[in-house]
Amino acid sequence: MGELTRHQAAIVERAVAVPLPLEKVISLLGVPTVFASKQGKLSFHSLSFGKDDVLWLIPEAAYDDRYTYSESIIIKKDDKPMAALCRGVDIGEAHNHQPIAALFNLTEPGSLQVMIVGGNKPGELENDYGSKGGLNLSKMLRNNPKKQVVKITADTQGLAIAIVDGIIKF
């Protein structure tokens, strides 16, 4: 984000700092995640969403009335909000309140500060990607046979995000 809107700033300010380790796989809102820092300082901030908070925090995200996000970890690099891992439920009748998770970009579109590396869609993390918006991580909550982990690395550009197979060791 270039400049946070008043609503975005208020939501980010409500988040509470939480200490998370680097270079160790952890369960972050149920999603296996590992953080590394090649440059810059990472910090993490826990947030419970109010009714429309997610809509204010991530205004360009694609939403569906079936999905509700209730909690988030905001990832900052050098005190700048960069990404938000959000968790909630699919309240659609067909999915019977299945848990969902997605990673959203909090930087301005086109900034290339939050990048997905590797995989079949390398490039900027787009908040309207996929049916739930953002990078859909829901399969890691329910069934993770490949033992996939989200690896987030702070580098010179911002954050590099990769999905890595077979390294879960809590």
Which amino acid makes up residue 122?
A: P
For residues 70 and 54, what is the distance between their CA atoms, to the nearest angstrom? 8
For residues 65 and 90, what is the distance between their CA atoms, to the nearest angstrom? 9
For residues 1 and 135, what is the distance between their CA atoms, to the nearest angstrom? 18
pLDDT-flagged residues of the chain (< 50): 1, 170
Q: b/e for 33-68, b at 16 or more Cβ within 10 A?
A: bbbeeeebebbbbbbebeeebbeebbeebbeeeebb
What pLDDT is recorded for position 120? Answer: 64
What pLDDT is recorded for position 90? Answer: 85
Contact in structure between 57 and 73 (CB atoms under 8 Å): no
* 133, containing H or E segment: none
What pLDDT is recorded for position 121? Answer: 61
Q: Give the up-direction half-sphere exposure of residue 121: CA atoms within 13 A in the CB hemisphere.
A: 8
Q: Which residue has the tokens 């509700």?
A: 68
Picking from 151, 153, 156, the residue whose alpha carbon sits closest to that of residue 166 is 151
What pLDDT is recorded for position 1? Answer: 46
Residue ranges per domain, the chain? 6-164
- For the chain, the straight-line distance linking the first and the last C-alpha, in angstroms and rounded, comes to 33
